[in-house]
């Protein structure tokens, strides 16, 4: 695994339903930095993030991870990537612990239940591990979804509106978590409507407009 991973967007463009959303996006993100994707509603922030993950095809241009196009190295790239989208990725009929256990397994890792429970506690959902996700509040569900970030190593975090439904304490916790991740050599790309303060980490902004 590359110790100094680099994410590079080269002339990236996107269109939806035949209409172009944005074009010519150029950006390089290095270790320890994070990228703030800004833009009005409907400007294409989620589309860009999905393109970054490899979920959506890149309409024009290319995205490079460690010098190689992400299209050419899907498995390696996905090993390094953790994505949190609008949807939590949690099955309502399973407990929080079961969901986390599966999410960890999907990334090719395993963790003992005690560690999962401890992680939930760190994310402010202590003692709710055995409850079905259906019975948690929106904010608690989001926290469980975020707990995935702490469980399996990924160099690049792609987070779509991670601060939504979080209270002040939650926001502080998440900011600290991302700061810690960046300190340890990670990268992050996120969108947020709120002002975000991730310690002293260097930030780049990409503004999407047509």
Does 186 help bind other proteins (rule: CB under 8 A)?
yes
* Shortest distance (Å) from residue 127 CB to other proteins: 21
Among 90, 120, 136, 178, binds other proteins (CB under 8 A): 90
Q: Does 127 bind other proteins (CB under 8 A)?
A: no
Which residues touch 148 (CB under 8 Å, ≥6 apart)? Answer: 82, 84, 89, 100, 103, 104
CB distance 44 to 57 below 8 Å: no
How would you classify the pairing of strands 156-160 and 81-84? parallel
- Which of 6, 27, 38, 94 touches other proteins (CB under 8 A)? 94
Count other C-beta atoms under 10 Å from residue 188's C-beta: 26
Decide if 29 contacts 66 (C-beta within 8 A): no
- By CB under 8 A, tell whether 71 contacts other proteins: no
**Which residue of 6, 27, 38, 111 would you call a contact of other proteins, by CB under 8 A?**
111
Query: By the criterion CB under 8 A, which residues form the site for other proteins?
Result: 17-19, 53-57, 75, 78-79, 81, 83, 85-94, 98, 101-111, 115, 150-153, 180-181, 184-186
């Amino acid at each position: 695994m590359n110790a100094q991973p680099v994410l590079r967007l080269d002339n990236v463009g996107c269109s939806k339903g035949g209409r172009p959303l944005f074009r010519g996006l150029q950006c390089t993100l290095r270790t320890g930095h994070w990228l703030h994707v800004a833009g009005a509603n409907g400007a294409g922030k989620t589309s860009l993030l999905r393109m970054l993950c490899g979920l959506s095809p890149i309409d024009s241009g290319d995205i490079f991870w460690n010098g190689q196009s992400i299209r050419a190295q899907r498995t390696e790239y996905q090993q390094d990537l953790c994505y949190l989208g609008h949807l939590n990725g949690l099955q309502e009929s399973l407990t929080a612990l079961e969901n986390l256990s599966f999410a960890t397994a999907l990334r090719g890792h395993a963790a003992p239940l005690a560690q999962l429970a401890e992680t939930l506690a760190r994310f402010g959902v202590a003692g709710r591990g055995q409850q079905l996700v259906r019975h948690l509040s929106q904010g608690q569900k989001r926290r469980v979804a975020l707990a995935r970030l702490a469980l399996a190593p990924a160099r690049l975090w792609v987070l779509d509106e991670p601060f939504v439904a979080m209270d002040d304490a939650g926001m502080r916790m998440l900011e600290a978590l991302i700061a810690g991740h960046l300190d340890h050599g990670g990268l992050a790309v996120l969108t947020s409507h709120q002002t975000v303060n991730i310690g002293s980490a260097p930030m780049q902004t990409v503004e999407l407009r047509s």
